[in-house]
Structure 1
Amino acid sequence: MPSSTPTGRSSAPTRRPDPRPVRIDDSWLHLPNPYDVPVEICARADVPVESVAIDELLTVLETADTLRRLGHAVPGLDTEPRLDRVVCTPDFHKGAGIPIGTVLRTVGALIPQAVGNDINCGMRVEATSLTVEQVRPHLDRLERRLRHLFFEGGRRIGLTPRQREGLLREGLPGLLADGVPGGPAARADAGAWRQVGPDDLGDLDGRLHSVGFPVSSADDFQDWITSGGGTSYDSIIGSVGGGNHFAELQYVSRVHDGATAYAWGLTPGQVVLMVHSGSLSLGHQANATGRDQAKAAWPRTVPMPRNRILPMLLDERTATGRQRYLTAFANAANFAIGNRFFLALMMRAGLADISAGELRSRLVYDAPHNLLWPEPDGAVLHRKGATPAGGADGTGRDGGRAWGEPVLVPGSMGAPSHLLRGLGNPRSLGSACHGAGRSVPRGAAARGSDDQLDAFLREFRVVTPLDPGDPTVAGRRDIVDAWRRDLKQEAPWVYKEVGPVVESLRTAGVAEPVVELRPILTVKG
């Protein structure tokens, strides 16, 4: 597959490959390490692997020694805790303690930091009834409408305490247990709720990795549940978030696998919407709970690890604290599913206002990329910035996983995105990348070229809370400069080329491309 070149991308200088990873074949590298943990990186030679990410990963592998010391310090364990395997996806790059694109399998322990703060951050893709030619003439109006919906009070997502608690305890089934608020008359002023359709309330089999993670309580988030008393509105639900999160309109520009594209309801020229967001402040709170509980259960005879990564053993001694973390974890994960749902409704609302007829939009897939999965044999699979890529399993009456789990790989802002079908490759721990991956740190990116940014903005629409065309804003140089610095941090040239990244997944037997999606406009928080 040829590499796609996003608008405004500059040619980066050639870097000498880091000598520490050893190439096994065209698609895989092996990373020798002092702990003898099997570590493989899925990346072709044309996908850069950062030395700083390798440094960070080697620090993470110190956790193998931590688990060995914990096993010796805690008598009577049924299973010796260990770091079993690590796989890194093609978008592998430095994170905040653990690299993004790391899949980590433990036995006898779980590691909250191997998921991080943004629990169940993920992607949602919907196929609409519009074509790109129907949308292009209305982009000015659409941009104004989306700015109002996302940033100027237009979302109006009213939630009752019952709906909030239902969402946190059960996910979408809990949120929608009582149907859509009010009848047609009441829904006229119901904001994003107006866009809920029959497909959202009916059979979702095979179209979400999970509709929810049921737990018995949401006690850690009672302040959010009861905020405002009755039906209330807040600034959290329906928020895109910062960093590389977005809501984007795209269209199907190329079909690689016609049979699967047909099964997923995708045709050339069709407008789709893609949402990338997570659990926001709820995820931060849940992760803090995990760190606190791990610290509280830490044996006094074992020094705190140098890398500050604190595993939780899966034993009776940690059961109470571990359950509190896993409940808060599930609450945050459920919130993230609901938040992506509402962000999609807001995108639908913008499209409905510019479409001549009735807009229809149907979920293709919702996939997580920051989550953990307990396995029947006592192992725990952690994915941080990596998405499930399961193979065909025969489920999903409307396509879905019958063709292989949909894998959502967005490009950088302004670059093409890709939908692939997972192949369930055990070598990759059934995992794929969740994007192209950064190649320039945020600090350095913020100091990037103004000329490059100007060239990019002349060719691509970015909807942000700030409207740079507003005369009242244009005179505030300090505000405009800050806005430009933020955009530079997510500009196309600070990310890897998405084409070689996708090709790495294909040649490694991880996932097969189905369609390519070209962007129309992006909403950034």
Structure 2
Amino acid sequence: MYVQDLQDLARRRSDAACFDVENPLGLDVRLFAHPSVPVERDAFLQLFDFLDVCRAIADIRDAEARGRLTFFGDAPACIDKVVLTPDFHKGSLVPVGTVARAQHMCIPQAIGNDVCCGMRLLVTDLPADALEPHWPAIQKRLRAIFFAGERDIPMSPRQREAVLRDGLPGLVRTAADNAHHGIWQRFDAAIEKENLARAHAEGGFPTRGLFGFERFIMSSGRVDGRDPQIGCVGGGNHFVELQRIDALFDGHAARDWGVSKGCLAIMIHSGSVGLGHAVGGHFMDRARSIFPTGITSPKGGFFPLPTSGPRAEEGHAYLDGMGNAANFAFANRLFLGLMAVRAVEEATGRTVGAKLVYDAPHNLIFRAGESLVHRKGATPAPGPSGADYHGKPVIIPGSMGAASFLLAGSGHADALESACHGAGRALSRAKTAHVPKDVFARELAKLRVVGPIDPRAPHLARRRDILEKYERRVMEEAPYAYKAVEPVIESVEEAGIARKVARLLPLCTVKG
């Protein structure tokens, strides 16, 4: 069910792309969306459940003032602002496209288990048209490298620990451990050191500990040991996509970022896979277990962890674990990019130069003093600063049958410097199963999709069970499952959150 008239959920429209949302607690909640962007009522109901945590926080602080318990202490814990991005839609825990600024506390469930899911964009010096004669070979190499055991990413225990503690800086620092083996032969430490400036927070968050990942770090104990996590695309809406740079809207920014019309680009959307799920699950349980007795639990299980006051260590322990998972996600996206370049080079027989445009996370808590900005399915969109007079790159993908966009952030304060991370779902994953098979077949016929299996392989002809499972997963991510991306981009531009720099069209999509 979609809201046809967004005014019935607004008390005051600020402009065509923004309005304030009435809510049960009277909080500052603002949605940035053009009227042409459909918005689910269920997403608002899920949001209101999330906002009940504010009632629970107020109850805790009132009980503390009466001397009944100790939790936040004197810290004025609260959520003081919520922003909803144009792709706002119902999620598994909290609506995707929700940005909440909290003070003196964090809420693990507000970003979920897919910690540091994010986007990485590479542009190459290879014309996209040069791939045309090679698509069968490219798809074959992509499947072999991503799914058939040819990742070839050796990692020493020292490298794994450096990644979890420091992210991309740790990876650069320890690159010599496997410099002449596997994927590391494509890793240029000098270039990747320069690339740190092209990643949010330089691609890493210093952490105090390792959140029980010691066994993962040791793995086999070998200097060139392998593991099943590094180089994993992940499931759901994660992907690695080969794209053609189709149009430029800001030639100055495009030139400075190395973006040229007609060239091949590689877009990566992935996160911390199993590591993020371990961190998220543990600390959601921890937040629930320490929630004060006698206080009505917040709806939806959104239990807070203090970052100030007598129980501040609870929140800081979570932020450390979140940092470990986030650091892994940055490194994982880097390897996925190297793997894609390798596949293209091996299939075409050509050397491909690839430049990083930017790497930015979506699902993460971002610290700014005692403020903690929770972004779920939303990406930072900082504006110009110092020598960076374009603003930071903002990467907004479409569905695997639609355009993606590269934009430049404007640093919109009222939007908490946040943009959406995609077009947003139009159909839930469950509802996609009811789309007629002929509609799905027509959509799939237009696309190049590389998954763990080749559905046309002769040995699978009689394995209907495997083929049906594969089709269900692809159906969940089919183009019709998502909203049109153009109205979403128009909302971002019209609201002054970011401006268009380039449009990229999909050529081939790798799905886990």
Residues of 2 paired with 1:77 and 1:367: CA distance?
Answer: 35
The superposition leaves residues 143-195 of structure 1 with CA deviations (integer Å, 9 ceiling, x where unpaired) of: 00000000001101111110000100010111221334446xx43xx1x3232
Structure 2 distance, partners of 1:380, 1:176, is 28
Q: CA deviation at 1:494?
A: 1.0
Q: Which amino acid aligns with 2:276?
A: G
Contact 2:163 2:327 in 1 (8 A): yes
Aligned to 2:69: none
**Alignment partners' CA distance in 1, 2:191 and 2:340:** 15
Q: In the alignment, what sits opposite 1:194?
A: 185
- Going from structure 1 to structure 2, the CA distance change for 1:520 and 1:383 (only over 3 Å counts) comes to same
Q: Displacement, 1:29?
A: 2.2
Pairing partner for 2:334 from 336, 341, 349: 341
Q: Distance in 1 between matches of 2:274 and 2:2?
A: 39
Question: Could you list the runs of 5+ residues in structure 1 that have no partner in the other structure?
Answer: 1-12, 396-400
Moved more, 414-423 or 60-69: 60-69
Asked whether the equivalents of residues 390 and 430 of structure 1 are also in contact (C-alpha less than 8 Å), the reply is yes
Shift in CA distance, 220/496, structure 1 to aligned 2, threshold 3 Å: same
Q: Which residue does the alignment assign to 2:386?
A: 394
> Are 2:157 and 2:217, in contact at CA under 8 Å, matched by a contact in 1?
yes
1: CA distance between counterparts of 2:30 and 2:112? 21
SS of 1:432's equivalent in the other structure is: strand
Deviations 1:246-273, CA, capped at 9 Å, x for gaps: 0000011000000000000011101010
**Which amino acid counterpart does residue 55 of structure 1 have in structure 2?**
L
1:286 maps to what in 2? 279
| Local SS of the residue matching 1:247 | strand
- Tell me, yes or no, if structure 1 residue 21 matches structure 2 residue 10: yes
Tell me the residue number matched to 2:228.
235
Normalized against structure 2, the TM-score is what?
0.94
What is the correspondence of 1:80-229 to structure 2 with a 5 Å cutoff?
A: 80-182=76-178, 186-187=180-181, 190=182, 192-197=183-188, 200-210=191-201, 211-229=203-221
SS at match of 1:299: coil
Q: Which amino acid aligns with 1:215?
A: T
Q: How does 1:498-509 map to 2 (within 5 A)?
A: 498-509=485-496
Within 5 Å, give how 1:440-455 maps onto structure 2. 440-455=427-442
Pick one of 25, 34, 53 that aligns with 1:35: 25
Aligned partners of 1:373 and 1:504: how far apart in 2?
A: 24
Alpha-carbon offset, residue 126 of structure 1? 0.5
User: What corresponds to 1:491 in structure 2?
Assistant: 478
CA distance in 2, matches of 1:314, 1:14: 38
Task: Check conservation: 1:293, 1:325, Cα contact below 8 A.
Answer: no
Say how many residue pairs are matched.
502
- Report the 3-state secondary structure (helix = DSSP H, G, I; strand = E; otherwise coil) of the residue aligned with 2:425: coil
Offset at residue 478 of structure 1 (A)? 2.1
Q: Percent identity?
A: 40
Partners in 1 of 2:303 and 2:454 — Cα distance? 43
Code of the aligned partner of 1:303: T
**What secondary structure sits across from 2:93 in the alignment?**
coil
Q: Distance in 2 between matches of 1:279 and 1:319?
A: 25
Query: C-alpha separation between the residues in 1 aligned to 2:146 and 2:485?
Result: 28
Counterpart of 2:39 in 1: which secondary structure? Answer: coil
Question: 2: CA distance between counterparts of 1:274 and 1:50?
Answer: 28
Q: What stretches of structure 2 of length at least 5 have no aligned partner? A: 66-71
Equivalent pair of 2:159/2:175 in contact (CA under 8 Å):
no
1:95-116 per-residue CA deviation (whole Å, 9 max, x = no partner) reads: 1221000000112221111111
Query: Mean Cα displacement is larger for which, 130-139 or 214-223?
Result: 214-223
Aligned 8 A contact 1:506 1:513 in 2 = yes
User: Higher mean Cα deviation, 198-207 or 44-53?
Assistant: 198-207
8 Å contact 1:155–1:238 — kept in the other structure? yes
Deviation at 1:199, TM superposition (A): 5.3
Equivalent of residue 295 in structure 2, options 302, 314, 319: 302
Amino acid at match of 1:209: H
Q: Separation in 2 of the partners of 1:124 and 1:308? A: 32
Moved more, 422-431 or 211-220: 211-220
- Does structure 1 retain, via aligned residues, the 8 Å contact 2:120–2:358? yes
Q: 1:424 offset after TM fit, Å?
A: 0.1
- Aligned-pair distance for 1:219? 4.2
Higher mean displacement: 336-345 or 302-311: 302-311
Secondary structure of 1:239's aligned partner: coil
CA distance change for structure 1 residues 198 and 35 in 2, over 3 Å: closer, same or farther? Answer: same
Deviations 1:313-353 (A, max 9, x none): 23332233223212111100000001101111110110111
**Cross-structure match for 1:363:** 356
Q: Is 1:477 equivalent to 2:464 in the alignment?
A: yes
Contact map agreement 2:98 2:376 (CA 8 A) in 1: yes
> How much has 1:301 moved relative to structure 2?
3.2
Please give the alpha-carbon distance, in whole angstroms, between the structure 1 residues aligned to 2:260 and 2:190.
19
**Paired residue secondary structure (2:198):** coil
Using the alignment, how far apart are the partners of 1:475 and 1:264 within structure 2?
49
Distance 2:93 2:45 in 1: 10
In structure 2, what residue type is equivalent to 1:420? L
Q: Which moved more, 1:23-32 or 1:498-507?
A: 23-32
1:392-448 superposed Cα distances (whole Å, 9 cap, x missing partner): 1124xxxxx431010000001121100000000011100000000001110001221
The alignment status of 1:413 with 2:400, answered yes or no, reads: yes
Aligned twin of 1:44: 34
Change beyond 3 A, Cα 1:354–1:40: same
The answer to whether the 8 A contact 2:424-2:482 is kept is yes
Shift of 1:198: 5.2
Q: Which moved more, 1:218-227 or 1:272-281?
A: 218-227
Does the 8 A contact of 1:289 with 1:325 survive in 2?
no
The residue aligned with 1:5 is none
**Which is worse superposed, 347-356 or 481-490?**
347-356
2:325 partner letter: A
Deviations 1:252-298 (A, max 9, x none): 10000000000000111010100000011111111123223323432
Q: What's the C-alpha RMSD, in Å, of the aligned pairs?
A: 1.7
Q: Distance in 2 between matches of 1:202 and 1:291?
A: 35
C-alpha separation in 2, matches of 1:33 and 1:389: 26
2:443 aligns to what? 456
Q: TM-score, normalised by structure 1?
A: 0.92
